[in-house]
Homo-oligomer: A and B are copies of this chain.
Amino acid sequence: MIKVCLIGGGNVAFHLAYQFIKAEHVQLIQLYNRTLCKLNPFENDVSITDQLSELMEADLYIIASSDSAIREISNQLPFSNRLVVHTSGSQELSCLASHNRRGVFYPLQSLSKSKPIDFSAIPICIEAENEDDLCLLHAIASSLKSKVYNISSEQRKYLHVAAVFVNNFVNHLYYIGQHICKEKEIPFEILMPLIKETADKINYLSPELAQTGPALRNDMITIENHLKLISTQEKEIYQLLTSSITNVYKNK
């Protein structure tokens, strides 16, 4: 059994805790959080503590805290030469204190506490300073039935910015679509099948080949008509994305 301590009381910590409790080959032995009562849901399953000095001996310590707390927590760990990882997409491995062996265990998904997550559908990006530690992280990710990828700190930075485009910014375009509908009392649900199909399509067609619409066709009449209908902010976004699409395809 691989023994794991989890540090943190947020979404990532909670989802990982639930998964580890039911996983084979992995034993969650302890949960730490600064505010102990946050861990109450787990008190019957696993030891809980609000003292870093009380952390038990484990094969792996996972710091699933906010990005800004990783450095401080890792500095305060009262032991050395053990494997300590963080779960952040935007932080380098080197933000962890060097008196322990360091790694990253980054589940690439947008997690909210309220919704149960199927970890077998979540890719986990791992990184470590030596082969043995990488193997251990691989084994743990596999025990969650997740797909595992070796991703360096350098790659992870880029992956994180790419995720902002395909998740945060895409959601904002959904927001704009909904806003336009609302103004004209059009039920937004009409657009749901199109949204689903747009996301599904790139499973069998690259985004480059899946592109359609007035910008691709250079259909200036439709573009001009659209620009008359929308707000100043929406217009700026429409124009910039249209010109970006035009730039990609103009020489093809």
Contact = CB atoms under 8 A, between A and B. Distances in A.
A168 interface: yes
B186 A163 contact: no
Contact of A210 (B154, B157, B171): B171
B226 A185 contact: no
Given A108-B194, A187-B149, A225-B157, A173 B177 contact: no
A168 B216 contact: yes
A155 B212 CA distance: 22
Contacts of A168: 211-216, 245
A39 B199 CA distance: 31
Interface string A149-162: 10100110111111
B162 A181 contact: yes
Interface string A4-17: 00000000000000
A135 interface: no
A166 B159 contact: no
Given A222-B90, A233-B244, A166 B158 contact: no
Contacts of A211: 168, 171-172, 175
* Copies of this polypeptide in the complex: 2
A220 interface: no
Interface in A119-172: 121-123, 125, 149, 151, 154-155, 157-172
Contacts of A123: 189-190, 193
B207 A175 contact: yes
A174 B216 CA distance: 15
Contact of A181 (B159, B172, B198): B159
A19 interface: no
A208 B162 contact: no
B159 A207 contact: no
23 contacts: A108-B193, A110-B201, A122-B193, A123-B193, A158-B184, A159-B186, A159-B190, A163-B194, A164-B213, A165-B173, A166-B174, A166-B198, A168-B212, A168-B213, A169-B237, A170-B195, A171-B201, A171-B212, A172-B211, A172-B248, A196-B199, A199-B199, A237-B244
Interface of A: 67, 90, 108-110, 121-123, 125, 149, 151, 154-155, 157-178, 180-181, 183-187, 189-203, 206-208, 210-216, 222, 225-226, 229-230, 233-234, 236-238, 240-241, 244-245, 247-248
